[in-house]
Amino acid sequence: MRCRQASQLISEGFDRTLSRSERRRLRLHLLTCTACRRFRAHLRLLDRLLPVLLAQLRPKRTSVRLPVDARRRIEGALPGTPRKEADA
């Protein structure tokens, strides 16, 4: 396996489960290739950090608090909302 295929598999491995033979060939390549091991380490790091960074970039939602009675009416109108007997 060449670096080009290996990096492709490393990348795809984040989106799908690699087949047994793909994993075996990739593992063999990674044993001998520092560059691809480094590439995989970087992708793993990005995979962990990206959601955190995106969450920080997203504008904060201003929270609006509804009065209790308005909230009850909305919840009561929604289908499948369990009604509490104690409230009735």
* Nearest-angstrom CA–CA distance, 31 and 12: 19
41: contact with Zn ion by CB under 5 A: no
Where does this chain touch Zn ion (CB under 5 A) — which range of 11-19, 26-34, 56-64, 67-75?
26-34
Least spacing, CB of residue 18 vs Zn ion, in Å: 16
Least spacing, CB of residue 46 vs Zn ion, in Å: 18
31 vs 86 by CB, closer to Zn ion: 31
33: contact with Zn ion by CB under 5 A: yes
Main-chain phi, psi angles of 59, to 5 degrees:
-60, 140
Return the DSSP state at 80: T
3: contact with Zn ion by CB under 5 A: yes
* Nearest-angstrom CA–CA distance, 75 and 88: 14
Length of the chain (residues):
88
36: contact with Zn ion by CB under 5 A: yes
Handedness of CA 12, 16, 48, 50 (dihedral sign): positive
Residues of this chain that bind Zn ion (CB under 5 A)? 3, 6, 33, 36
